[in-house]
Structure 1
Amino acid sequence: MQRIHIIGGGVAGFTAAITAAESGALVTVHEAHHTLGGRARTAEGPYLTNEGPHALYRHGPHWAWLAQRDLLGAMATVPLRQAARLRFRLGGALRRTPPLTLLRLTRRRTEHAPVDTDFHTWATAQVGEEGARTAAHFAAVALFHHDPGSLSAAFVQERLRRAAALPPEARYPVGGWAQVVDRMAARAWNLSVRIETVSRIDPSALDDLARSGPVIVATSLDAARGLLCDPTLTWDSGRTALIDLALRTRRGDAFAVSDLDAPGWIERFTAQDHTLAPAGRQLLQGQFPVAPGESKAAGIARAEDVLDLGFPGWRDRVEWRREALATGRTGAVDRPGTTWRDRPAIDRGNGIYLAGDQVAAPGLLSEVSFNSGMEAAVLALGASEQPRSTRRTLDLERG
């Protein structure tokens, strides 16, 4: 068995490493940073934040894969009393219930939404223009995109249904996503995977690795494009203003506020996981997509408007604050006429494979990383064991 090298110590990289090592492969993970996790890192300190709002949705092969290996750990759910405190901004006012047209649209099955038509056009024919607009903005919680209505109707509808599912699909790793990554790294270590941190690979080093066996590039698409010197490795993603806040606790705050006037979402993550902040403090994380050319400040201004409605007096209660702009770091979005199959292929030829959240694999947000990591490992194993002419690509849709 040749050694399989994996570049990137995040969710996709460790999914690939574990999958390959369980089949007996010799595996090395190369991580450029001192710490593992990629975008699933959890910040150290009194406030355990991730890079923007994070949730793990229950359905799909990734959930079963993690559960079978006892890698999920403790998962928090939103208590019913907190779920009842989900609020909506519409027409500049705070509402307790979403518009009926939005609820009607969530009942439409995904397969009824066309791939080659934009969501706004299709949804307008179903529930009218206002309903289509509010549904698109609500779906942004799982898109991080400034104009969800312009994307493929089938793509947005799937995410709308899953985001609005009852009971909620979303689960939250207790203690932050780093807990999941730590369990994955420990599993890989126990399978004799070699883990090298501060191991930055450049194109010349990549060539050297490829001579010893298959290589899985499990990085962001931007990093993979530079590493593989391949300008075709591009796909649309979101551009989002991120805000993190620690507030002194106050009774009556909303659990989360969905902005239906424009795409945006802010959530009190300590409502379901009290370990994320010290006693007497609550941690909020929000994402407010911004258009190309629009400033981070514009997104933060919208976030503050939502905070004024859902968290009265928040400015006087701030204990800590952080802002950021995430560009191309929030997963793939599919334009009309495209699906996940049209994204950059996992098999790049010559024993090089791609994994991450913007490549040709199905799923919602981080699920693409899990699914592409599994597929890349299967392909790399086949390349190690068989002549290249006999490789067989598995169909991920079979689960």
Structure 2
Amino acid sequence: MPPTRNNSTRTPTRLTVIGGGLAGLTAAITAAESGARVTLHESHHTLGGRARTAEGTYRTNEGPHALYNGGPHWTWLKQRDLIGPLAPLPPVEGTRLRLHHQGRLRRTPPLAMLKLLRRKPEQAPMEADFMSWATGEVGEEGARAAAHYIAVATFHHDPGSLSARFVQERLRRATKLPPEAHYPRGGWASVIDRMATLAWNLGVRVETLSRVDNVSTANTADTLAALSAKGPVVVATSLPAARQLLQDDSLQWESARTTLVDVALTSRRGDLFALSDLDGTGWIERFTTQDRSLAPAGQDLIQGQIPLSPTESKPDGAARADHLLDLGFPGWRERLIWRRDSVSNGRTGAVDLPGTTWRDRPAIDRGDGIYLAGDQVAAPGLLSEVSFNSALEAVTLALTSTRLDLKSA
């Protein structure tokens, strides 16, 4: 069961959360359960951040909306009944996952890649790049295929150039059987809505269309300094937004840039569930395989996720997505009902270069009662787990520091 609210007679700590995405809502709920008086500011009119789901006919997400059950956030969400109904995973034998390798669609990865999956993450050195280490373990073919496959969990155009430890950890989890990935019915928005309801029931004051910057908020004359003077502040925004808000140029870390291609097609029996490009980096997934609520009856919603190099543009990524659609969904152009191309830029989470780990990312405790949460800060985890873990740590540090200050006063 989740913790109950603190019923102590002492004056509750005031805590401000800036940002209403997964990290911000996790921080707000955790602090409120500990007895803090929490105000959350969100600059948009809806909560969710990168976890928002589009309203309208096609329920698209900014990238995949899978939750991995191997991380601590799964237990935390489940204890609070926040996950909700899950879309059933297709049987392994019926998933129709295909791998584009050496110019052909295959059912199974190369044997060398399968051998690499047996290596434990601790065997992969964080100092070396993944491609060099994996080539030494299983040869170039298996190393390259594995590096390209894990783009689905890194969004990076060249995962082989990243830390071997970083990539191997994600490769092992992304290829587990049975799969760790589960899909909340209705997309991320269903989870966010339940989190927002719980926050409200715990007494969190949620202010949308309330942009906090280094000058003022939209609705008050409080500066960031004034907010932190009243109690700890958890900045749960993207790293670029936090850098601007805190005027701290040290808030830098590697991320990735990805073209997202969403298409709605007339349904056709026999379409693939997913296609992974082992000759390049790209992933195509038919989300309505699991969750028919994401598109109208008789239609399928498909998303292509194509990592972009620094020299590539959105049209370059879209062209690569079209090529994969041609391979995996023959005749898709004649069945096309709707399409949207976009770029996710710097919002794809942290990637660790050789010689670095999550501990080297921007620290959560920024001093002067300011704490950082999000997917590019110093916390472990896969994809959204970084936001979750950093939010818990930020609140723990904030409330512990405040209570120590009160004792010493």
Q: TM-score, normalised by structure 1?
A: 0.96
Partner residue in 2 for 1:328: 346
Partner residue in 2 for 1:236: 254
CA distance in 2, matches of 1:194, 1:158: 38
Partner residue in 2 for 1:178: 189
**Which secondary structure does the structure 1 equivalent of 2:81 belong to?**
coil
1:245 aligns with 2:263: yes
- The 8 Å contact of residues 77 and 170 in structure 1, kept in 2 or not, is answered as no
**Which secondary structure does the structure 1 equivalent of 2:27 belong to?**
helix
Partner residue in 1 for 2:50: 39
1:123 aligns with 2:123: no
Deviations along 1:116-162, whole A, 9 cap, x unmatched?
00000000011101110000000111000000000000000011111
Deviations along 1:255-284, whole A, 9 cap, x unmatched?
000000111101000000111011000000
Residue 292 of structure 1 and its aligned partner are, at CA, apart by 0.5
CA distance in 1, matches of 2:332, 2:406: 60
CA distance in 1, matches of 2:406, 2:376: 25
Q: Unpaired runs of 5+ in structure 1?
A: 391-399
- The 8 Å contact of residues 82 and 255 in structure 1, kept in 2 or not, is answered as no
Partner residue in 2 for 1:385: 403
Partner residue in 2 for 1:197: 208
Aligned 1:1-399 pairs, distance under 5 A: 1-80=12-91, 83-204=94-215, 205-387=223-405
Partner residue in 2 for 1:397: none
- The 8 Å contact of residues 2 and 25 in structure 1, kept in 2 or not, is answered as yes
Residue 388 of structure 1 and its aligned partner are, at CA, apart by 9.1
- The 8 Å contact of residues 13 and 35 in structure 2, kept in 1 or not, is answered as no
Go from structure 1 to structure 2 and tell me whether the alpha carbon gap of 1:339 and 1:81 turns closer, same or farther (over 3 Å shift): closer
CA distance in 2, matches of 1:388, 1:239: 45
- For 2:388, the aligned partner's letter is F
CA distance in 2, matches of 1:54, 1:263: 19
Q: Which moved more, 1:56-65 or 1:91-100?
A: 91-100
**Which secondary structure does the structure 2 equivalent of 1:384 belong to?**
helix
**Which secondary structure does the structure 2 equivalent of 1:245 belong to?**
strand
Deviations along 1:176-216, whole A, 9 cap, x unmatched?
10110011111111110000001000113211211111000
Partner residue in 1 for 2:218: none
Query: How big is the alpha-carbon RMSD for the aligned residues of Structure 1 and Structure 2?
Result: 1.3
**Which secondary structure does the structure 2 equivalent of 1:319 belong to?**
strand
Residue 96 of structure 1 and its aligned partner are, at CA, apart by 1.6
CA distance in 1, matches of 2:114, 2:271: 24
Residue 71 of structure 1 and its aligned partner are, at CA, apart by 0.8
Partner residue in 2 for 1:393: none
- The 8 Å contact of residues 224 and 233 in structure 1, kept in 2 or not, is answered as yes
Deviations along 1:83-126, whole A, 9 cap, x unmatched?
53000111222112211111111111111111100000000011
Residue 330 of structure 1 and its aligned partner are, at CA, apart by 0.3
Deviations along 1:360-383, whole A, 9 cap, x unmatched?
000001000111111111111112
CA distance in 1, matches of 2:95, 2:350: 31
**Which secondary structure does the structure 1 equivalent of 2:355 belong to?**
coil
- For 1:110, the aligned partner's letter is P
Go from structure 1 to structure 2 and tell me whether the alpha carbon gap of 1:259 and 1:114 turns closer, same or farther (over 3 Å shift): same
Go from structure 1 to structure 2 and tell me whether the alpha carbon gap of 1:77 and 1:170 turns closer, same or farther (over 3 Å shift): farther
CA distance in 1, matches of 2:309, 2:406: 43
Q: Which moved more, 1:139-148 or 1:293-302?
A: 293-302
Runs of 4 or more off by more than 4 Å in structure 1? Answer: none
- The 8 Å contact of residues 65 and 184 in structure 2, kept in 1 or not, is answered as no
CA distance in 2, matches of 1:389, 1:324: 51
- The 8 Å contact of residues 52 and 243 in structure 1, kept in 2 or not, is answered as no
CA distance in 1, matches of 2:95, 2:290: 13
Residue 387 of structure 1 and its aligned partner are, at CA, apart by 2.1
